[in-house]
Structure 1
Amino acid sequence: MAPPQPIFSNYNQTTLEQYSYVLYPGNGTISNGTNCYLSFGNFHPSIYSNGTVDNGTNCDSPYYGIAARGGVGIAFATISILLLPFSINSLHRLGKQHLKHEHKRFRLISRRWQWYWVFLIHALSAVAGFLSIDIDRDYIAGTSFTSYGAVFTAVFPCCLGAVWEMTRHWGSFVERQKFEEDPYSFRDDKFRSAYILLAPIFVYLFGFLFFLLAVLRNWNNVIKQSPDFIDNPRWKVGIFLGLVCFILIVLHVGFIYHFWHPSHLPLKIPLCFVGVAVMLSYCIALSFDSHFSPFDSNSSIVAVSVWGYIPILYLLLVMNIAAHYQVNDDKIILRQRSERENARMQAALDTVVVHDDNLFRQDNALGYSDEKQSAVRVPPRAYTNAEIKAFARANMQAMQKSGISDQR
């Protein structure tokens, strides 16, 4: 956008040449490559002979009003903040311990890691949304654009981390239920043990490389609005490694089915896979066409919202809605233990044979023979819970002694 007229050009030419300042009438700025100041309308910077600048306004100062990008960014940040209490509540409900002791094989932290990543997504999304406000307001894209680019890109590896921890914990909980049912059903399997050890290492390795190449780079180049900054080899390799990380997460589901045979796959997992797939597809598309890139000030805000912002909010919604209907792992384990105990008790009761000694004593007193005694119908009688438990306990002890003697 052309600056308002007139352009202020009342400078000492010798001072400008000494400190390499150049006046750009096209956009009304004066810059030496390091420092940049507005020089039009009411902006009249003074450059002294010693190089100091007085009354200077930086080129990345908020000159314009909030536009479409800023408005969408505010909405994105606001929704992310509003969803944060639901994530906190999900962590409180699902991460709470209801058992006295945790098994060293199934640590409590296992089910909490997903929500730690989710909290990081909330924070980065809110920061990126508010930083996008200054992209429209700044006269020339500056530090707000560089900060926005780095923060917004960092959301994608965090989404991979959250989805991985959600998938990994589901497999861990399936294993835990099998272990609770029969601790000796898992035979030593070197491949399974090696996979459990190496899978998280490889997933986080490729996720970190994605972060290293796509996020930790010189974002000052984005100010130049050069397409080469996005579709350069570093970005492409980083996105490829992120894709490998996502493929490993998907393959982990097949591993869980191969070894532990779960009854069903939670719907939240494929739904979250769809969200991550859309994010990675968007990043891959940016590698070949930067016209709808969030790092291009002239790109379509609709494209940035649909392909960049909405998938992130979609993941947060899916995880929190699924958590609302999910039961704490410890409560499920306690319920299953109770069901197994009741089943064992019922099986023991089915084998209990009760003799009414009082009735047999009366028969003997009347002089009934064994044949007559067997013909006597024993009237039914209700037994108390204490009697039933005593019968079952005695029967179980007898069965255990019988099993021990058989082994001998």
Structure 2
Amino acid sequence: MSLFDFREVASGLAPGATSGLPSGTNATDSEIFGVHFNLTTLQHWNYTLYSGNNTISNGSWCFLMDPPYTPVGVLNNGTFVNSTWCYLATQPSGPRGNAGIGVAVCFALALVLVLVNLARHGKLYLPATKRFVPIGRRWQWYWASFVCTTAIIGLFTNIDVDRYRVLELPIVLNVFFWFLMQMGTTAIVWEAVRHWGSWMERQFVDPNPFVLHQTDSRGMFEFWLPLFFYFWLWLNFFLIVPRNWTNIELQRSPQQIVLKAIPTATDGRFKAAGFCLLICWLTIMVSLWHSIRHYEPRNRGWFNRTIGFLGYMPFRFVLLIPLLLALVAYQELVAWRFDLSPLNAKTNLLAMYLGGYAPSLLIVIVQAIDGFCRPNEDKELIRQRRTRGAAIDRELGLVKKPNWWRRVNGDVDDGGMRGQIMRNVREVGGGRPTARHVEAMAERRAADLEAAGANNNSGIEMNTLRRSNSAATSVRTGATAPPPYTTAYGGRSEQRRTEHTMQAVASLLFPNASPSPSIHERGRDLEMSNQQTQRPYTTERSSSTASAASGISTSGPPQQIRSMLDI
């Protein structure tokens, strides 16, 4: 029914409601669908029978009057006996609900594809950076999930729009989630275009992090443009959602439709909301132009730039942008034509589903198909790095050896860490034999040390460590007997460790010097020195040390001191 037909109904050409009640057998009787009611009681409580939907109401109470819901009578207080409330889903599902179920199933399947793509493209294979956060490439899939969810909820409420004899909450829920779906679809296209530009920037920055600065005019433009877009998108939300939706429910008679529903559904706020979506669409086009201008080769001349703009633009944008423009045009159209609007319970279903739901569904499907065709961005970046590395190796003349080269040369890594552990086990054995092997090695080492100590009783390595406090053994008394030691040496000497370290450093700095004596030679030298005279308690030094030193310096070649840099 067109707007002109609604106005004819309101003018009385085709009345859909009668304030008078049908007459009965006498002046105080009213017969409705074969049941007699007290006419005086109905008039006293201001009941009106609506022939358009076969309901009776006084503004506070509403009951169904057609069979099988016809009440059996009315009491003096205006209460109907065995009555049925108007605001119940008593009717069968109509074409609007049946078509909505089919479209909702399509959105449910699209939601599965969206979640698979979210897991596919949202997974990280490289460390996250502050400049390119992981959520930036996930936003388009988050919005796609939001669109599918709101579409499914809104389409299933279409069933109750048909089943309610008198419209109430279902029509409001249906259009509420439909407007949210329109916002989410616009955000999908925006995030797809914005992230494509960010991906192009990331490919520029990856080889050289300093080639594009974040504080230049390009970077600041990319910083403020998303804020500008979401400002108009949320302005669309605030123009539509925070309002009194009761007038949309008042489609219970042609008079209500003309006086209440149509003025509300075509008011200035709905018209301005469609204009906000148009600005969002223009912002998306500006973002696409900006990305192509900065991250693609530039062409000269307007004609070449136009051809280049269409050529450099990904193919999915060739589909997404016109579909989004059709969605914006339909939302602005329904703000002027109530007979094509989803807010109309008896709307043109072909126009509603083709203009209201088909663009959103196609945009989600195109995004999902493109997501399966494109690789994960981290994997693609890793592939580009390998390609650049191979190109650099070719320029430097480096040839990477094939995999069989290591196997031929015996450098085989069988199993990674597991193979390394097995090689260590094979060297020392495994299980309890390993412990026996270690114990046997310790016993042999102890026996060797005991044998060395027996051969060199005066050696300092295995001698006792306790010194007697008697006067005969004191150094201050001048006694010639060596001090007796009774406690065996039980560990490594820190002095000997320091001595070995100094000898190693000296061998590096003085390569021509004579090698240091072994343990047995050092023991024999110590035994011989003990047989000589005790060093006097004066500041005089023994001539043996000087002579030995002088002998080394005179007989050997001159010392060549090496620098630490040579080491």
TM range (shorter): 0.7 to 0.9
Equivalence map 1:72-91=2 (5 Å): 72-91=99-118
Inter-CA distance 67–27: structure 2 relative to 1 (3 Å threshold)? closer
1:189 CA displacement: 4.8
1:303 corresponds in structure 2 to 351
- Structure 1 counterpart SS, 2:69: coil
1:98 CA displacement: 0.7
- State whether structure 2 residue 396 is matched by structure 1 residue 348: yes
Q: 2:263 aligns with which of 207, 228, 232?
A: 228
Q: Tell me, yes or no, if the aligned pair for 2:323 and 2:363 is still in contact at 8 Å.
A: yes
Q: Tell me, yes or no, if the aligned pair for 1:15 and 1:48 is still in contact at 8 Å.
A: no
2:499 corresponds in structure 1 to none
The structure, 1 or 2, with the larger RCO (C-alpha pairs under 8 Å, 6+ apart) is 1
- Structure 2 counterpart SS, 1:112: helix
- Structure 2 counterpart SS, 1:69: helix
- Structure 2 counterpart SS, 1:10: strand
Amino acid at match of 2:208: D
Using the size of structure 1 for normalisation, the TM-score is: 0.79
In 2, Cα distance between equivalents of 1:7 and 1:279: 50
Q: 1:320 aligns with which of 364, 368, 376?
A: 368
- State whether structure 2 residue 387 is matched by structure 1 residue 339: yes
1:193 corresponds in structure 2 to 219
Q: Tell me, yes or no, if the aligned pair for 2:137 and 2:195 is still in contact at 8 Å.
A: yes
1:277 corresponds in structure 2 to 325
In 1, Cα distance between equivalents of 2:186 and 2:381: 28
Q: Tell me, yes or no, if the aligned pair for 1:28 and 1:39 is still in contact at 8 Å.
A: yes
In 1, Cα distance between equivalents of 2:124 and 2:61: 56
Encode CA deviations 1:303-356: one digit per residue, 9 max, x unaligned.
112111211211111011111101101011101111111111111117x9xxxx
Q: Tell me, yes or no, if the aligned pair for 2:316 and 2:367 is still in contact at 8 Å.
A: yes
Q: Which consecutive unaligned segments of at least 5 residues does structure 1 have? A: 353-381, 387-408
1:398 corresponds in structure 2 to none
Q: Which is helix-richer, 1 or 2?
A: 1
Q: 1:119 aligns with which of 135, 142, 145?
A: 145
Q: Tell me, yes or no, if the aligned pair for 1:70 and 1:135 is still in contact at 8 Å.
A: yes
In 2, Cα distance between equivalents of 1:315 and 1:112: 16
Q: Tell me, yes or no, if the aligned pair for 1:7 and 1:28 is still in contact at 8 Å.
A: no
2:168 corresponds in structure 1 to 142
Q: Tell me, yes or no, if the aligned pair for 1:70 and 1:133 is still in contact at 8 Å.
A: yes
In 1, Cα distance between equivalents of 2:325 and 2:58: 44
Larger radius of gyration: 2
In 2, Cα distance between equivalents of 1:9 and 1:311: 54
2:286 corresponds in structure 1 to 251
1:294 corresponds in structure 2 to 342
1:102 corresponds in structure 2 to 128
Q: Which consecutive unaligned segments of at least 5 residues does structure 2 have? A: 1-14, 18-31, 252-256, 298-310, 407-567
In 2, Cα distance between equivalents of 1:182 and 1:213: 45
- Structure 1 counterpart SS, 2:56: strand
1:44 CA displacement: 4.3
Q: Tell me, yes or no, if the aligned pair for 2:232 and 2:279 is still in contact at 8 Å.
A: yes
Q: 2:274 aligns with which of 239, 259, 262?
A: 239
Amino acid at match of 1:261: E
1:329 corresponds in structure 2 to 377
Inter-CA distance 172–11: structure 2 relative to 1 (3 Å threshold)? farther
1:60 corresponds in structure 2 to 87
2:235 corresponds in structure 1 to 209
Q: 1:172 aligns with which of 198, 203, 213?
A: 198
1:122 CA displacement: 0.8
Q: Tell me, yes or no, if the aligned pair for 1:231 and 1:290 is still in contact at 8 Å.
A: yes
Inter-CA distance 52–114: structure 2 relative to 1 (3 Å threshold)? farther
Inter-CA distance 201–53: structure 2 relative to 1 (3 Å threshold)? farther
- Structure 2 counterpart SS, 1:282: helix
1:265 corresponds in structure 2 to 313
1:358 corresponds in structure 2 to none
Q: Tell me, yes or no, if the aligned pair for 1:8 and 1:40 is still in contact at 8 Å.
A: no
- Structure 1 counterpart SS, 2:340: coil
In 2, Cα distance between equivalents of 1:247 and 1:145: 31
- Structure 1 counterpart SS, 2:37: coil
Amino acid at match of 1:151: F
Q: Identify which range, 120-129 or 183-192, moves more after superposition.
A: 183-192
In 2, Cα distance between equivalents of 1:117 and 1:220: 29
1:25 CA displacement: 4.4
In 2, Cα distance between equivalents of 1:147 and 1:215: 11
1:163 corresponds in structure 2 to 189
In 1, Cα distance between equivalents of 2:65 and 2:53: 9
Amino acid at match of 1:272: L
In 2, Cα distance between equivalents of 1:157 and 1:98: 32
1:22 CA displacement: 3.5
Amino acid at match of 1:97: L
Inter-CA distance 385–196: structure 2 relative to 1 (3 Å threshold)? farther
Q: Tell me, yes or no, if the aligned pair for 1:150 and 1:216 is still in contact at 8 Å.
A: no
1:14 CA displacement: 5.2
- Structure 1 counterpart SS, 2:63: strand
CA RMSD of aligned residues (A): 2.8
**Residues paired across the two proteins, number:** 352
In 2, Cα distance between equivalents of 1:7 and 1:217: 43
Q: Tell me, yes or no, if the aligned pair for 1:7 and 1:40 is still in contact at 8 Å.
A: no
1:21 CA displacement: 4.5
1:16 CA displacement: 6.7
1:212 CA displacement: 1.5
1:213 CA displacement: 1.2
Inter-CA distance 339–60: structure 2 relative to 1 (3 Å threshold)? same
Inter-CA distance 209–33: structure 2 relative to 1 (3 Å threshold)? farther
Q: Identify which range, 114-123 or 250-259, moves more after superposition.
A: 250-259
Encode CA deviations 1:68-94: one digit per residue, 9 max, x unaligned.
111110101111112221111111111
Using the size of structure 2 for normalisation, the TM-score is: 0.58
Inter-CA distance 385–265: structure 2 relative to 1 (3 Å threshold)? farther
Q: Tell me, yes or no, if the aligned pair for 2:104 and 2:152 is still in contact at 8 Å.
A: yes
In 2, Cα distance between equivalents of 1:349 and 1:169: 38
In 1, Cα distance between equivalents of 2:116 and 2:345: 37
- Structure 1 counterpart SS, 2:364: helix
Encode CA deviations 1:231-263: one digit per residue, 9 max, x unaligned.
210100111111111111111011112222279
Amino acid at match of 1:227: I
Inter-CA distance 16–166: structure 2 relative to 1 (3 Å threshold)? farther
Amino acid at match of 1:274: P
Inter-CA distance 172–260: structure 2 relative to 1 (3 Å threshold)? same
